[in-house]
């Protein structure tokens, strides 16, 4: 991959706090990258360093092959869309969008024409003369996006731009952002807490913790093949189980776990400790009288709760060993007996387990 944005060993130290540690990342031109992780992981600080709003205490930022580490933010061509939007309440919608063009010295006629073209692109055509206070939250967010794009930058930075919106608007604006990215073919670097946002929008996700990149990859790869226990836990849709290798058979390692002997797709020496994760969508419940296929685990437990999310449901199960499991499946309306306290037995295909690399 040819890097358009290259972060080389970035460091950010504050008094008493090491926010970003030796961070290196290559981002291709036109790529949609999502930085995600818990609060305080360094993702927003990294975005601010790319924008020039924070000066790294170490490392370099290259954009288009040029070292931008010491370049002022207004000369980088890296506009940012903020969570707080930072719109000017005393300006009209059109003037808010045109403001970067005014700062650049463009003529009033060009500013008006270009601002309204961008308002059309974000679905706000005809609203240019309105006051910002007259717009809904979603409309204001579109104004902020149009203002950031009006100078036709090669990069757009977005710092949790949808977090203040309700669920319906978030989904709608996700679709709009995805459309804009496809049409403009520019680099988007997007910071979010939301796994669903990152997975829906990004070509690659960057998972961070304690100022360090934990994993970079396509959303499916990060979800299905986490590189460590932190990433597996952060994904939130996996159950982690640790056991000791008791035997090998046909490319499978059989682990002695609290739930019994469970096979995983690994070759490890007898006596080794292994931890595997199993996705919520890989687990299924055995029907009454059904036994697990040969080689598949059979884990009894009781339903703790059921969460309905549209056409899917997440079933929370406490195994008899005390471990908590989550199972996600389509809601087909055929589980009237599946209520809190109901006894169930879980199973899964051993080849769907993912063994975490040893730390």
Q: 210-223: per-residue pLDDT in tens?
A: 999 999 999 999 99
- Pairing of the two strands 343-347 and 238-249: unpaired
pLDDT greater than 90 at residue 333: no
- Taken in order of first residue, the domains within the chain and their CATH numbers are 3-229 (3.40.50.300), 237-288+295-355 (2.40.50.100)
* Per-residue pLDDT at 228: 92
**Residue for token digits 């490392």?**
59
Confidence of residue 359 (pLDDT cuts 50, 70, 90): low
Report percent pLDDT > 70 for the chain.
97
**pLDDT value for 336:** 64
pLDDT tier at 237, thresholds 50, 70, 90: low
How large is the average pLDDT for residues 5-28? 96
How many whole angstroms separate alpha carbon 57 and alpha carbon 40? 18
pLDDT digits (tens, 9 = 90+) for 55-108: 999 999 999 999 999 999 989 989 988 877 788 889 999 999 999 999 899 999
Q: What CA–CA distance (Å, rounded) separates 346 from 233?
A: 20
In this structure, what token pair is assigned to residue 155? 């990069």
Assigned token pair, 130: 């309105």
Nearest to 19 by CA among 37, 33, 5, 4: 37
- pLDDT at position 194: 85
What's this model's pTM, rounded to 2 decimal places?
Answer: 0.88
CB 29 within 8 A of CB 187: yes
pLDDT at position 334, please?
64
**Lowest mean pLDDT across 22-31, 142-151, 201-210:** 142-151
- Starting at the earlier edge strand, list the strands of the sheet with 354-355: 260-264, 252-257, 238-249, 273-279, 354-355
User: Phi then psi for 321, rounded to 5 degrees?
Assistant: -80, -10
Q: For 120-128, which contacts have Cβ atoms below 8 Å and span 24 or more sequence positions?
A: 121/146, 121/149, 121/180, 122/146, 122/176, 122/180, 123/176, 124/93, 127/93, 128/92, 128/93, 128/94, 128/97
Q: What confidence tens digit (pLDDT) does each residue in 112-149 have? A: 999 999 998 888 888 999 998 888 888 888 898 899 99
């Amino acid at each position: 991959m040819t890097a358009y944005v290259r972060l080389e060993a970035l460091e950010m130290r504050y008094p008493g706090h090491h926010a970003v540690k030796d961070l290196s990342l290559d981002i291709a031109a036109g790529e949609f990258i999502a930085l995600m992780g818990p609060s305080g992981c360094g993702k927003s600080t990294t975005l601010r360093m790319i924008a020039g709003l924070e000066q790294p205490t170490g490392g370099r930022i290259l954009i288009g092959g040029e070292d931008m580490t010491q370049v002022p933010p207004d000369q980088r061509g890296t506009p940012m869309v903020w969570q707080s939007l930072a719109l000017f309440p005393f300006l009209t919608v059109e003037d808010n969008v045109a403001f970067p063009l005014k700062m650049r010295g463009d003529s009033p006629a060009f500013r008006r024409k270009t601002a309204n073209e961008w308002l059309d692109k974000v679905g706000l055509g005809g609203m240019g003369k309105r006051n910002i206070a007259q717009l809904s939250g979603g409309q204001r967010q579109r104004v902020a996006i149009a203002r950031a794009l009006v100078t036709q930058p090669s990069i757009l930075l977005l710092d949790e731009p949808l977090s203040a919106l309700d669920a319906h608007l978030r989904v709608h604006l996700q679709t709009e952002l995805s459309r804009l990215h496809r049409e403009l073919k520019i680099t988007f670097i997007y910071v979010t807490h939301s796994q669903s946002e990152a997975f829906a929008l990004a070509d690659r996700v960057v998972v961070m913790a304690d100022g360090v990149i934990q994993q970079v990859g396509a959303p499916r790869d990060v979800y299905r093949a986490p590189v460590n226990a932190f990433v597996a836990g952060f994904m939130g849709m996996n159950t982690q189980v640790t056991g000791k290798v008791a035997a090998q058979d046909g490319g499978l390692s059989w682990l002695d776990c609290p739930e019994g002997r469970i096979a995983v797709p690994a070759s490890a020496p007898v006596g080794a400790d292994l931890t595997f994760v199993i996705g919520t969508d890989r687990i299924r419940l055995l029907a009454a009288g059904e036994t697990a296929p040969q080689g598949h685990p059979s884990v009894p437990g009781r339903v703790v709760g059921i969460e309905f999310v549209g056409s899917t449901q997440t079933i929370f199960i406490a195994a008899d060993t005390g471990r908590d499991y989550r199972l996600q499946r389509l809601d087909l309306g055929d589980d009237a007996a599946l209520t809190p306290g109901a006894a169930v037995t879980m199973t899964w295909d051993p080849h769907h387990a993912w063994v975490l690399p040893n730390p």
